[in-house]
Structure 1
């Protein structure tokens, strides 16, 4: 089923406006609250199953979509449409963080980010080769996890002291036991096979206090994907994301010891609940020296991640500067110690 949100004033298609958080009509400027939008102005067109072809209710054009797409725009009339049959049942998200950065703001933020690249080529820093910038909702699973941790170790405390002409080292040994319970909430793991996992991880953090109950109008005017992996399939990744935090917490409880020798460390991490969420991402395609570079921007905070090209000349100059500074510092120390000057 394809859904269009029609403007009650002029009949044109409405899209979600990130600045106001409302449905907005580009033709007459009308804005409507998503919560109160009348079903009278929602039009639908039905399609069978998971077919890749949908018909635009606005102009009649056939929309060719990927089987994973849940929201898109008509290439012919530009209408924002939501494929509701791919957002129902087990495919229905529980929560969504709406876009709070518009396309124009995203472009400005990307320009500013490019100009900060101290080791990137000047041509890249101009940020004038953006091929495309696409707003899309990426599917994530959020996990609430509980870790039960039991530790047995031997801790040592070492003390050095002197008496008379003799220096002494005293080593005390302690049996250490730890029984720890840790809870983690809203651990995010992206569920789209198209998205690079490391890139999506680096977009964190999002402000989860702005999570809203999912409603399809939030997707109007954007591209959205449905998940490719269910919550059970991605649970190992969620556990791996908290593993370093668990180790860090265990170590923090051993801070009073000079050294620790672990005899037993049992860590059991289980899922208490999981829920399906859509998070906003601007995907930026940038053309530089006939090569395409892909960057991602957090659609809520404006944080940009990706690997920009590096200028070999700037890198050489940077290392040369470090070497030169080190040489000057060494000569200055030599002079102060009576070793003369260069």
Structure 2
């Protein structure tokens, strides 16, 4: 099924506007609320025989997509389309965080970010080599997790004291037990095989107070994909993701000891609830030094992540500056105490 949202005012195709949070018509500027968009202005067409091929209702062109795509643009007329049959049943998202950073704002934020790299090449810092910037909704699973931790450890308290000419060290050993209830809400994991997991993790945090119940018009004008991995397949990755936070919390409950040695650390985490959610991401493709560099931007906060190129010349100058500064400091100290530093 291909869906077009037709402007009630002029009949042009409408797209989601990140500034207003409404569907907006690029032709006449008319805006419509997503919640109250008139049903008669939604054009739908479904062909049961089509798996990866659709037809644009605007110009009749064939739309070829990958199996994971759920929203795209017509390559011929540019009309935003949503492939609704890929967003139903088990493939229907529960929640969505809409874009709040527009494309113009994303370009400006990325250019500002490139200027902040002290060790990046001068040509990269201009921010003027953006090859393509694509707004897309990336599928994520959000997990509400409940569990328990059972801890056994040996804690020591060491006391050193002197009696006469003899220095004594006294060590006391203590058995430590902890039973801790664990609760973590909305732990995210991206469910797209194409997306770099490390890159997606670094885009966090998102503001979950802006989570909306999913409605298809949010996708109009952006790319979107359905999940490749279900929530069962990703749960082990989520468990490993929360382990550092659990360890840090356990440490805060055991204090006052000189050392702590764990003998048992049993953590049992269970899924309480899972939300299939779409997160807004601007993918930035940047040409520099005959190579394409890929960066990602949080479409809600404007946070940019990625690995920029490093200038060997700037690195050399940086280390030289440290060496010179260190030598000058050491010479000043030597002079102050009456020494000589060659």
Q: Into which bin does the TM-score normalised by the smaller protein fall?
A: over 0.9
Alpha-carbon distance in structure 1 between the residues aligned to 2:57 and 2:90: 26
Give the TM-score normalised by the residue count of structure 2. 0.98
For residue 260 of structure 1, what is the aligned residue in structure 2?
260
Alpha-carbon distance in structure 1 between the residues aligned to 2:252 and 2:125: 42
Alpha-carbon distance in structure 1 between the residues aligned to 2:337 and 2:150: 55
The Cα shift of 1:163 comes to 3.6
For residue 175 of structure 1, what is the aligned residue in structure 2?
175
Alpha-carbon distance in structure 2 between the residues aligned to 1:341 and 1:131: 54
Instruction: Please say if 1:92 is aligned against 2:97.
Output: no
Distance 1:149 1:18, change over 3 A: same
Instruction: Please say if 1:12 is aligned against 2:20.
Output: no
Q: Is the 8 A contact 1:332 1:341 kept in 2?
A: no
For residue 31 of structure 1, what is the aligned residue in structure 2?
31
Q: Deviations over 1:104-149 (max 9, x none)?
A: 0000000000000100000000011110000000000001112311
Instruction: Please say if 1:108 is aligned against 2:73.
Output: no
Q: Is the 8 A contact 1:136 1:282 kept in 2?
A: yes
Alpha-carbon distance in structure 1 between the residues aligned to 2:74 and 2:11: 16
For residue 246 of structure 1, what is the aligned residue in structure 2?
246
For residue 126 of structure 2, what is the aligned residue in structure 1?
126
Alpha-carbon distance in structure 2 between the residues aligned to 1:68 and 1:292: 24
Q: Deviations over 1:21-61 (max 9, x none)?
A: 00000100001111111101000111226611100011111
SS at match of 1:285: strand
For residue 313 of structure 2, what is the aligned residue in structure 1?
313
Q: Deviations over 1:176-197 (max 9, x none)?
A: 1011111001000000000000
Alpha-carbon distance in structure 1 between the residues aligned to 2:244 and 2:47: 47
Alpha-carbon distance in structure 1 between the residues aligned to 2:280 and 2:50: 24
For residue 237 of structure 1, what is the aligned residue in structure 2?
237
> Map of 1:285-300 to 2, 5 A cutoff?
285-300=285-300
> Map of 1:329-340 to 2, 5 A cutoff?
329-340=329-340
Instruction: Please say if 1:60 is aligned against 2:60.
Output: yes
Distance 1:194 1:49, change over 3 A: farther
The Cα shift of 1:341 comes to 5.6
Q: Is the 8 A contact 1:71 1:220 kept in 2?
A: yes
Alpha-carbon distance in structure 2 between the residues aligned to 1:58 and 1:11: 10
Runs (5+) with no aligned partner, structure 1: none
Q: Is the 8 A contact 1:50 1:67 kept in 2?
A: no
SS at match of 2:123: helix
SS at match of 2:142: strand
Q: Deviations over 1:240-296 (max 9, x none)?
A: 110111111111212211101111111111111111000000000000011000000
